[in-house]
Amino acid sequence: MAQTTLTGVDEVRAAVGAELGTSEWLTITQDRVDRFADATDDHQWIHVDPDKAKDGPFGTTIAHGYLTVALSNRFLPEIVDVQGFRAGVNYGVDKVRFPQPVRVGDRIRGRATLDSVDDVAGGIQTHVRITIEIDGADKPAAIIDSISRYLV
């Protein structure tokens, strides 16, 4: 169940500037990284070869940056449930940054803040900053400025 429920345009607008909450922690496994590599045909050794990665810059394999971004779609429904609209669609992202890699074995979670709401034809458009945190780390793994549209 989501930590925050927003129903209708007025509640969404009223939440601008608010932290919406955090998701549950998720441990990144080598199997998940390998399956993402298979899905994207990105089999760079830094992701899929634990033996070689031991001598690499991070001492182990790391998750693909885009795997980290993709997991934001897993985390966001745990954080916020937007109701009272005919449909909600992912419209894209304005900006993505990767301050720190996610090492296999790390636990990550999402934290979301509603930055703005704009009127668009047929509904509203939200800008949500999703920060992917690494358990015990100083810097986040990713900062994603996500855009969604909600149609009335």
Q: Which two tokens stand for residue 14?
A: 């009223």
Instruction: Provide CB contacts within 8 A for 18, sequence distance 6+.
Output: 4, 113, 114
- Residue-wise pLDDT tens digits, 19-75: 999 999 999 999 999 999 999 999 999 999 999 999 999 999 999 999 999 999 999
Q: pLDDT class for 2, splitting at 50, 70, 90?
A: confident
pLDDT of 8 higher than 80: yes
pLDDT at 85: 98
Nearest to 111 by CA among 143, 67, 70: 143
Beta strands in the chain (DSSP E): 4-7, 19-22, 26-27, 80-83, 87-97, 107-120, 123-134, 142-151
Instruction: Report whether pLDDT(7) > 90.
Output: yes
Helix H or strand E encompassing 26: strand 26-27
DSSP three-state, residue 140? coil
- Residues 102-120: what's their mean pLDDT? 98
Percent of the chain whose predicted confidence (pLDDT) is above 90: 99
Quote the pLDDT of residue 43.
98
pLDDT tens digits for range 84-100: 999 999 999 999 999 99
Global pTM reads: 0.95
The domain segmentation of the chain, as residue ranges, is: 4-151
% of the chain beyond a pLDDT of 70: 100
Q: Top-level CATH class of 4-151?
A: alpha beta
At residue 1, the pLDDT reads 75
